Structure 1
Amino acid sequence: MEKRNLLEGKKVLIVDDEPDVLESLEELLSDCKVTSADHFEAAKALLESERFDIAILDIMGVNGYELLDIANKRGVIPVMLTAHALTPQDAAKSFRSGAASYLPKEEMLNLETFLNDILEAEEKGKSFWWRWFDRLGDYYDRKFGPDWKEADKDIWDMIKYGA
């Protein structure tokens, strides 16, 4: 039985200052109604004037954390997607700030899977981060070493074990 695509027909805002990333994201999200912005002001205006189901936000170059705050206030599911701000500290900050996930651009090809996980979590009343360790725990272990969780152990234990 094929798993249904919960993204189908969703309205998604993608924000990144790199045109090739925007183009790639639009292609990856072909089942969605995608709107893109390449700078903070355009993204802010879109978030404040239109309704989106999901906002995929870069951190660097577009003031992603401020956009995260706006998305949360507007009831939009915010997802952080980054290359330059890829640190365990930024992942923890994103979690604390209300992001539904924090994804490395290196894993962009799996974006549909990550977003379906988030929408499935929403359907089931679970934490948006419920499958984050299953999908990215090994990646983070390889990238940052086995002790990367120590600085924010309370957050990572809560995400991993649902405590």
Structure 2
Amino acid sequence: MDEKSLLKGKKILLVDDEVDILETLLDILSMCEVKTASDFETAKTLLENEHFDIAVLDIMGVDGYSLLEIAKGKGIIAVMLTAHALSLENTFQSFEKGADLYIPKEKLFKIVVYLEDVLEGRSKGRHSWWKWMERFGPFYDKRFGEDWKKKSEKLLERLKYRV
């Protein structure tokens, strides 16, 4: 791992009900201090009682949106990571509810890049979604068809405005 990573030394909470996902993320984020939770109650307790720089939250299986609310209330960077809830509706719901990013699990192997995007954006005074379209636009084109942008035009305009 790059010694100059913006993530080096950050404290991260990983929440997912799939143990293999947690293990994979632990390996990928080895430059960080990481805690894991595989259920809502454990994650809630950790969020309420410890300091974290970033929380990576699954949506399904752990009530990720409730955890997002707790994380945002504590000023923690919150990133949604999902497979089963991968939809345009959940993407924009995550944005509207204050998630700093929304990552499809199919792209979790590049999570270091995405989390560094959020940290870089914050350091430059930019909205955390500033590189989302660049990173995920082509993936969404393949997944939802190129007309997804037209169907989501109003929400994308809000995203663009805040970026």
TM-score interval for Structure 1 and Structure 2 normalised by the shorter chain: over 0.9
Residue type of the partner of 1:144?
F
Q: Which residue of 2 aligns with 1:89?
A: 89
TM-score by length of 2: 0.95
Give the match's secondary structure for 2:128: coil
Is the counterpart of residue 150 in structure 1 residue 161 in structure 2? no
Q: Which residue of 2 aligns with 1:36?
A: 36
Deviation of 1:151 (Å):
3.9
Distance, in Å, in 1 between the alignment partners of 2:31 and 2:72 is 24
Distance, in Å, in 2 between the alignment partners of 1:93 and 1:150 is 17
Distance, in Å, in 2 between the alignment partners of 1:151 and 1:84 is 21
Distance, in Å, in 2 between the alignment partners of 1:42 and 1:65 is 15
Distance, in Å, in 2 between the alignment partners of 1:143 and 1:81 is 16
Give the match's secondary structure for 2:158: helix
Q: Are the equivalent residues in 2 in contact too, given 1:88–1:149 (CA < 8 A)?
A: no
Residue type of the partner of 2:158?
M
Residue type of the partner of 2:82?
T
Q: Which residue of 1 aligns with 2:67?
A: 67
Distance, in Å, in 1 between the alignment partners of 2:32 and 2:98 is 23
Q: Which residue of 2 aligns with 1:55?
A: 55
Distance, in Å, in 2 between the alignment partners of 1:9 and 1:161 is 32
Q: Which residue of 2 aligns with 1:125?
A: 125
Q: Which residue of 1 aligns with 2:12?
A: 12
Deviation of 1:154 (Å):
2.1
Distance, in Å, in 2 between the alignment partners of 1:68 and 1:136 is 21
Give the match's secondary structure for 2:152: helix
Aligned Cα root-mean-square deviation (Å): 1.5
Is the counterpart of residue 107 in structure 1 residue 99 in structure 2? no
Matched positions, count:
162
Percent identical pairs in the alignment equals 50
Residue type of the partner of 1:58?
D
Distance, in Å, in 1 between the alignment partners of 2:134 and 2:152 is 18
Residue type of the partner of 2:147?
D
Distance, in Å, in 2 between the alignment partners of 1:90 and 1:150 is 17
Distance, in Å, in 2 between the alignment partners of 1:31 and 1:37 is 19
Deviation sequence 1:46-93 (CA, Å, 0-9, x none): 000000000000000000000000000011000000000000110000
Unaligned runs of 5+ in 2: none
Distance, in Å, in 2 between the alignment partners of 1:77 and 1:59 is 15
